[in-house]
Amino acid sequence: MVEREMAHRVFAREFNDSRFQLQSVSIHEDNSHVASVHSPNFLVTPSGAKSNRVFVVGVVTEVENMADLKSGAKELLRARISDPTGSFTVYAGNYQPEALVFLSNVEVPSYVMVVGKVRSYEPEAGEVFVSIRPEEIHYADESLRNRWIVDTAELTLERVDFLKKALDSGLTGKILLDHLKSLGVPLHLVEGICLSLDYYHTDLAYIEQLRANVKESLLSIKEDGSCGSDEDHDHESLVLEVMGSIAESGSNSISGSVEYAAIITEASSRGMSAAQVDQIVRILLSKGHIYEPRAGVFKVIH
C-alpha cells in the first residue's frame, strides 16, 4: 500500500514558477531502481517544497470547457483559482467525476478549496506548464481563505529562511544536506532545498521576491479596523455599493461585471475623485472583495 503524501501549501506565484518534476522510483531487492505507476511524482518548487499534492484556497474566477480543444477528451474543464499572488490552473476530466460536476455548476466568482495532485506538462524543451488535478473541491468562505493565506505565508517564510541558510553556507551536495540536518531543518525540506538549489540556482533576489509576495498577501487580509483610515473604509463601502447598483441596473454591466469607467462616473457623482476610486479599487482587489475577469471590467465577489 502506497502511503498518501501530505498536501503542501504554496502560493500561486511560486507554484507557477516551478519547473522541476521529480519521478520517484521503487528499489527492488537486487538494488535496481525502477519507476512504478504506484510511486508518486513530485514537483519541486524554487523554495524547496517537494510536493506531490497541494492544498489551496482561493477565488474561482473562470471555468472553461476544454473538451473540444483536447483530442479524445470527452469532458474536460479548466478552472482558474486566484490567490493574492496569482492563479492556479485546475483541470477536471472523466477521472475526477466529483470535481467535474462541481465545476460544471460552480458559481463564478466563489471561494473554493482544492486538494489535488500536481501535474506538469512540457510541450517543448524549456517550456513547462503546471496544474492541479483535484481530488477534493468544495465551497469555502473568506475566513477559510484568510486562514490559508496565513498558514501558507508561515510555511513559505520557513522554507525561505532555511533556503537562505543553505545559500549563506556556500556548501553543495551531500555536505550541504548534512549541514541542513545539523541545523534541525525538517527532513522533508532538506532534500527539497538541496534539489531546488541544484536545479533552479535560486538567488537572494528571488528569495526577497517571495518575501514580498508573503507580505502583500498578509496585508490583503488585515481586518478593516487594523489598517487604513475610517475614510478609506467608507470609500470601500461606497465603491462596492456603486458596483452593486450598476450591476443591478444592467447599464454598463454584463452578467454582473461592471466597467471601470462606469464606476468612476458614478462614484464621482457621489463626491469621490478618480484618484480615490482607483486607490479603493486596488485595495478591494488585494482584499479579494472584487476581481477583474478582463481588463477594465470588475465584478464583486459575494
The range of the structural domain enclosing residue 177 comes to: 147-219
Q: Are residues 267 and 293 in the same domain?
A: yes
Q: What is the arithmetic mean of pLDDT over 254-268?
A: 86
Residue 88 and residue 12 in contact, taking contact as beta carbons nearer than 8 Å: yes
Q: Is residue 173 part of a domain?
A: yes
Q: pLDDT tens-digit profile of 182-238?
A: 999 999 899 999 999 999 999 999 999 999 999 989 988 864 334 455 667 788 999
Please provide the average confidence, as pLDDT, over all residues in the chain.
85
Q: Are residues 240 and 195 in the same domain?
A: no
Q: Is residue 39 part of a domain?
A: no
Q: pLDDT tier at 85 (50, 70, 90 boundaries)?
A: very high
Peptide bond into 134 cis (omega under 30): no
Q: Is residue 152 part of a domain?
A: yes
Q: Is residue 56 part of a domain?
A: no
CATH of the domain at 292: 1.10.10.10
* Nearest alpha carbon to residue 178 among 167, 161, 191: 191
Q: How are beta strands 7-8 and 53-65 bridged, if at all?
A: parallel
Q: Which helix (H) or strand (E) holds 269?
A: helix 260-269
Q: Is residue 175 part of a domain?
A: yes
- Please give the pLDDT value at position 34: 43
* Nearest alpha carbon to residue 116 among 106, 131, 129: 131
E strands, 14-103, in order: 20-23, 26-27, 33-34, 41-44, 50-51, 53-65, 76-83, 86-93
* Nearest alpha carbon to residue 93 among 123, 120, 72: 72
pLDDT at 20 over 50: yes
Q: Are residues 157 and 214 in the same domain?
A: yes
Domain end position, chosen among 155, 189, 219:
219
Domain end position, chosen among 162, 189, 219:
219
Domain end position, chosen among 201, 219, 237:
219
- Please give the pLDDT value at position 250: 73
In DSSP terms, which residues pair with 120 in a beta bridge?
A: 130
